[in-house]
């Protein structure tokens, strides 16, 4: 079973406001129909605009199952979500209400800050600590999960396609990130 995930752009970030389990075939059909809508925005590397609504189909591991997300301006999203995804008007109104989005964004920021504080603590290796304890902290699943996920996403076809359409400085930065990840993994393996 796939998940249809709806996110809203806030301050340059996508904040999840709704998810709904759907059959893979139905999810593909709904997203394909939404992408045929004349109001759909076709993202091509531009910055997120506050209020944009992005709809994606993912599997249980968070992997995208459809090549194109559906993206609508806030004004068009109410109608599109009802027509293409069969969402109830009250559910759409609640999900896209400014107070709901503000509340979810605040929770999202707190979760992001807590996650990065945890990573900071894990990679803050003390020179007085033992080599073994530092190795445990660096190799902790949370940090390695992040590194592995970054590595997987940077190698992904969708990421490579998106990067190919962006300016060369962005492509170079992505390549540097990829090289840094490989260097980190190698350093941890040599501990």
Of 10, 9, 90, 2, nearest to 54 (Cα)?
A: 9
Q: Output b/e per residue, 122-156; b: 16+ Cβ within 10 A.
A: beeeeeeeeeeebeebbeeeebeeebeeebeeeee
Q: Are 2 and 21 in contact (CB under 8 A)?
A: yes
In whole angstroms, give the CA distance from residue 21 to residue 85.
12
Beta strands in the chain (DSSP E): 2-10, 13-22, 53-58, 70-72
**With contact defined as beta carbons under 8 Å apart, do 4 and 64 qualify?**
no
Q: Which two tokens stand for residue 107?
A: 């929770």
Q: Where are the domains of the chain?
A: 2-100, 125-190
Question: Any idea of the CA torsion for 99, 46, 114, 61, to the nearest 10 degrees?
Answer: 100
Rg (CA), the chain: 20
- Render each residue's pLDDT in the chain as its tens digit; 191 residues: 888 899 999 988 888 999 999 988 888 899 999 999 999 988 776 778 889 999 998 887 777 777 778 899 989 999 999 999 999 999 999 999 999 999 998 988 888 777 777 666 655 544 444 445 544 454 444 566 677 777 777 777 667 777 777 777 777 888 888 888 788 777 766 65
Interatomic CA distance for residues 106 and 31, integer angstroms: 28
Q: Which residues contact 134 (CB under 8 A, 6 or more apart)?
A: 125, 126, 191
What is the pTM assigned to this prediction? 0.61
């Amino acid at each position: 079973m796939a998940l249809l995930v709806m996110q809203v752009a806030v301050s340059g970030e996508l904040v999840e406001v709704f998810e709904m389990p759907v059959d893979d075939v139905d999810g593909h059909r709904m997203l394909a129909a939404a992408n045929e809508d004349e109001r759909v925005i076709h993202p091509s590397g531009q910055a997120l605009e506050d209020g944009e609504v992005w709809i994606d189909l993912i599997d249980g591991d968070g992997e995208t199952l459809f090549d194109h997300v559906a993206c609508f301006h806030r004004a068009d999203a109410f109608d599109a979500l009802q027509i293409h995804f069969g969402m109830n008007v009250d559910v759409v109104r609640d999900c896209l209400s400014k107070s709901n989005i503000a509340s979810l964004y605040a929770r999202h920021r707190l979760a992001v800050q807590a996650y990065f504080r945890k990573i900071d603590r894990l990679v803050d290796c003390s020179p007085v600590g033992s080599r073994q304890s530092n190795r445990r902290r660096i190799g902790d699943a949370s940090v390695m999960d992040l590194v592995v996920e970054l590595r997987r996403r940077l190698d992904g076809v969708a990421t490579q396609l998106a990067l190919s359409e962006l300016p060369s400085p962005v492509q170079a930065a992505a390549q540097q990130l990829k090289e840094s990840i490989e260097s980190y993994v190698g350093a941890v393996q040599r501990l």
